[in-house]
Amino acid sequence: MTTPTPATETRTTRRGFLRAAGRTCAALWATLWAALSGFDPQRLGAASRSAEARALEYRVKAAFLFNFVRFVEWPERRSSARTPFVIGVYGDDPFGSILRQTTRGKAVADRAIEVRRAADLGEAGDCDVLFVSDSERDTLAQILESLRGAGVLSVGESDSFLDDGGMINFVIDSERVRFEVDLDSVRAEGLDLSSQLLKVAHNVRYDARDGGKRR
């Protein structure tokens, strides 16, 4: 029997790590898209009724919001097993019952998930994840400024959301719901996004000192 050398052990360890990393990435893809198993991207643009297309779009966005909770680390000051993860909606609620249905009975890191309507900016700052509706596009800068230092993951759906200081923005690309990330805004609040989550983002923006904008 051949005695393993440090070199062969290193190669074996590296192969094991790469296999594990590959499984992690595959699992992330499966997790993100399994919830969307009923999603036909062609229907998003071709639905005969706008209400049907809209419900389909927000079912996908609700699934993404749930999975963002699973692949983001918040600052220690916001982490407590005794309190739920709060996903807040600020502005007109486009989800109806969809977001609550998507998260009902689910937990992350032993914390239940709670969906709330944020009635004002004070309540918005109490959320772990805040979805800012497109109805608030004209006051985005003010809303996002009010969240500064609160450690809230801000998610939007407006063209200027990242430019106004938001972290994750939903976009429609080739009739699919995708998301883009401003990594500088995320890091400024002490949050950490899984590298696997960043791999499935449509676009990741970050400071030129870190290599510029990646697409």
pTM: 0.76
Name the more confident of 140 and 24. 140
Domain count, the chain: 1
pLDDT in tens, 111-163: 999 999 999 999 999 999 999 999 999 999 999 999 999 999 999 999 999 99
- Domain of residue 88, residue span: 35-210
Specify if 14 maps to a domain.
no
CATH number at residue 103: 3.40.50
Task: State phi, psi for 195 to the nearest 5 degrees.
Answer: -60, -30
CA angle 94, 198, 29 (to 5 degrees): 75
Specify if 138 maps to a domain.
yes
Average confidence (pLDDT) over 176-191: 95
The C-alpha atoms of residue 206 and residue 188 are separated, in whole angstroms, by 11
Specify if 27 maps to a domain.
no
Specify if 25 maps to a domain.
no
Specify if 184 maps to a domain.
yes
What is residue 45's predicted lDDT score, i.e. its pLDDT?
52
CA angle 138, 141, 145 (to 5 degrees): 145
